[in-house]
Amino acid sequence: MGKLDSHTIMYGVFGDPIRHSKSPIMLNRAFEEAGINAAYAAFHILPGQLKDAVAGIRALQFRGVNVTIPHKVEVMDYMDEIDEGARVIGAVNTIVNDNGKLTGYNTDGIGYVRSLKEETGIELSGKKVLILGAGGAARGVGYALAKEGAKHIYIANRNPEKAVVLAASLSEFTGTTGLSSEQAGEAAGEVSLIVNITPAGMHPNVDSVPMDASLIRSGVVVSDTVYNPLVTRFLREAEARGARIHPGLGMFIYQGAYAFEYWTGVPAPIAAMRRVVEQSFV
């Protein structure tokens, strides 16, 4: 990161937990590569603190902030304007501050699909998909998959009511079904793509998995949005059963790249962003 001075533009990420995040490493490298005098930090925002934290964006004149688990839905209540895509998805992960006017965007879905297609070559049109999780990121990914032509999306969650609600919100774009986590195995036999969008397997809980990998068919693409560790236990077990795997780092890189471009109007230095994050795991 370059030298900080009184002209440095501030950015950050809000989440709980947040200390595992590689966003500061990635975005500070992006600003440096682009020659922008900016700094990006991680902020641990606990439940009940989000409204005050968003007010702080205006008060401290931050140019932009990313929003991660568990704040992506609640943060919408505190925006002045919400991008159409984020409104449809029902979640915001990127905030742009234009002289005190806060606009919410969602880069999760577009970042995820770009990574998935580039790294696996999967053709999504006409395919059935199983999403594990029903939080803010699941909304973005589900919407993007539907827009890519997915034929049917099953959504499984520990709280099945949340899965049903999310399925209903996506039903105008494709066929959907909300399930409990226990029912995920039933859908797994019908789909071409399984996506984990829960924190299961995320550092430091690296031994947890979102579903029983023995229920996964050979040849299915199994994708994980967790990127720390780079390859989760879930992906290792799925690969051992003959699945093609898609780690979460690509989604992380591209959602950050789209956010960078919303903030700066400058093309994101994607290669440098990926390189510095990969090096941080060595």
| Structural domain spans, the chain | 9-106+251-280, 109-247
Q: How far apart are CA 70 and CA 47, in angstroms?
A: 8
Common-topology check for domains 9-106+251-280 and 109-247? yes
Give per-residue pLDDT as tens, 80-126.
999 988 998 888 999 999 999 999 999 989 999 999 998 999 999 99
Q: How far apart are CA 257 and CA 27, in angstroms?
A: 8
Mean pLDDT for the chain? 95
Say if CB 11 and CB 27 are below 8 A apart: yes
| Lowest-confidence segment of 10-19, 130-139, 158-167, 211-220 by average pLDDT | 130-139
Half-sphere exposure of 182 (CA within 13 A, CB side): 2
Run of H or E including 261 = helix 249-264
- Write out the E strands in 54-93: 64-67, 81-82
Q: How far apart are CA 18 and CA 23, in angstroms?
A: 10
Q: What is the pLDDT of residue 1?
A: 53
Q: How far apart are CA 220 and CA 33, in angstroms?
A: 38
Q: How far apart are CA 184 and CA 210, in angstroms?
A: 10
Say if CB 263 and CB 64 are below 8 A apart: yes
Say if CB 271 and CB 20 are below 8 A apart: no
SS3 177: strand
52-71 mean pLDDT: 96
Architecture of domain 9-106+251-280: 3-Layer(aba) Sandwich (3.40)
For residue 215, with 0-12 CB atoms within 10 Å meaning exposed, 13-18 middle and 19 or more buried, which class applies? middle
Q: What is the pLDDT of residue 89?
A: 86
Say if CB 210 and CB 132 are below 8 A apart: yes
Q: Which two tokens stand for residue 44?
A: 């641990």
213-220 mean pLDDT: 96
Within 10 A of 262 (CB to CB), how many other CB atoms are there? 16
Q: What is the pLDDT of residue 90?
A: 87
Q: Which residues are annotated as a binding site for NADP(+)?
A: 84, 133-137, 225, 248
Q: Which residues are annotated as a binding site for shikimate?
A: 21-23, 68, 93, 108, 227, 255
Asked if the model's pLDDT at residue 136 lies above 70, the reply is yes
CA dist 194 → 36, 123, 221 (Å)? 38, 14, 6
Question: Mind telling me the catalytic residues?
Answer: 72
Question: How far from chain centre, in Å, is Cα 237?
Answer: 22
Say if CB 90 and CB 237 are below 8 A apart: no
Kindly give the pairing relationship between strand 128-132 and strand 175-180.
unpaired
- Strand-pairing partners, residue 94, are 66, 105
Q: What is the pLDDT of residue 2?
A: 61
Give per-residue pLDDT as tens, 13-55.
999 999 989 999 999 999 999 999 999 999 999 999 999 999 9
- Strand-pairing partners, residue 61, are none
Q: Which two tokens stand for residue 161?
A: 């009511």
Q: What is the pLDDT of residue 249?
A: 95
**Domain 109-247, CATH:** 3.40.50.720
Say if CB 259 and CB 125 are below 8 A apart: no
126-152 mean pLDDT: 94
User: Which residues does 176 contact at the CB level (< 8 Å), separation at least 6?
Assistant: 142, 152, 153, 154, 155, 167, 168, 170
- Strand-pairing partners, residue 12, are 41, 65
Provide the pLDDT confidence category of residue 209 given band limits of 50, 70 and 90.
Answer: very high
Q: What is the pLDDT of residue 88?
A: 87
